[in-house]
Homo-oligomer: A and B are copies of this chain.
Amino acid sequence: MEELKIFAPATVANLSCGFDVLGCCLENVGDEMIIRKNELNTIRITKILGQELPMETEMNVAGVSAMALLQQLKSSQGFDIEITKNIKAGSGIGSSAASSAGVVFAINKLLDEPFTPHQLIPFAMEGERLASGNPHADNVAPALLGGFTLVKSYEPLEVLSLPSLPELRVVVLHPLIELKTKDSRAVIRQQVSLKSAISQWGNLGALVSALYEKDYDLFGRSLVDEIVEPVRSILIPFFHELKQIALEKGALGFGISGSGPSVYAMCRGEESAEKVKIGLQEFYQQKAIDFDLHLSKINTTGIKII
């Protein structure tokens, strides 16, 4: 195989109580990438459509992720990378993660899979390091593994796949304001109260149980964030109003996607998700705020060959 075309999905990380550890993969929001072997012993970003992003390999998240993988293999195989970006950079639904995870997935396939999907995570994390200064796994893991993932620990890196809820739908609202991951991290306090931390891990434990028990209501009740949402929500226009609308329209839970500014609503079933989507849309239209809006199933397989 000389060339692969893939769909590299968007992901929602953090998920309220799961700050820095939880993430899930979306079905119908994502980039397309073509990865092709070349004869040049070098990795080139040959085309980027849909967005202005660095073409220099060392400055591009897909470039550095590919380099990390090939260095580990001590391989001198070269690759050309074409990216059609549909996920806006800085939107909070894993734009850099999609490119980073996508490229290592494709190169691994083209080299006859020397690595398991789990083993690809650290390479894709190098892209995240370039994008935000922090090599986090909570977007690249669900992009590579699909479904819900939990970063148990970073040292050593251990990522678990959790069961998904089949009727779950995710509504993602992206206010078209720019918010850099770095800036969004800066508002977070590095010390938290033990009381809030205990609430957070009580809710996270309950959320994991809810996924196994297929308990949608418990899942929703667990989507609580006492630590990051109170400070980060200030950066998102009308966050509290949006949350109230989503919950009134029947969402199971609502919170910030990744480091924002996107917000997510988890809903049970398509019909419920449509109502929530319309409610959010009408509110932002009234307020004359530009936005993108997505409604997606949970993608349980991650990156797909197309």
Is A150 an interface residue, CB under 8 A from the partner? Answer: yes
Interface size class of A (residues with CB under 8 A): 35 or more
Is A222 an interface residue, CB under 8 A from the partner? Answer: yes
- If A158-B221, A160-B209, A221-B158 touch, does A153 touch B192 (CB 8 Å cutoff)? no
Give 1 or 0 for each of A215-250: 1 = CB within 8 Å of chain B CB. 000100110100100000000000000000000000
Give 1 or 0 for each of A193-230: 1 = CB within 8 Å of chain B CB. 11101111111111111001000001001101001000
Report B-chain residues with C-beta under 8 Å of the C-beta of A207.
205
Is A89 an interface residue, CB under 8 A from the partner? Answer: no
Q: CA A19 – CA B192 in complex, angstroms?
A: 15
Besides A20-B202, A152-B205, A153-B202, 13 other A-B contacts (C-beta < 8 A): A18-B205, A22-B205, A152-B206, A153-B224, A158-B206, A160-B205, A191-B194, A192-B194, A192-B197, A197-B200, A197-B201, A205-B208, A209-B212
Which 10 pairs across A and B sit closest by C-beta, in order of nearness? Answer: A152-B206, A201-B201, A197-B197, A208-B208, A212-B212, A21-B202, A201-B204, A191-B191, A20-B198, A150-B205
Please give the residue numbers on chain A whose beta carbons come within 8 Å of chain B beta carbons, in ascending order.
Answer: 17-22, 150-153, 158, 160, 162, 188-195, 197-209, 212, 218, 221-222, 224, 227
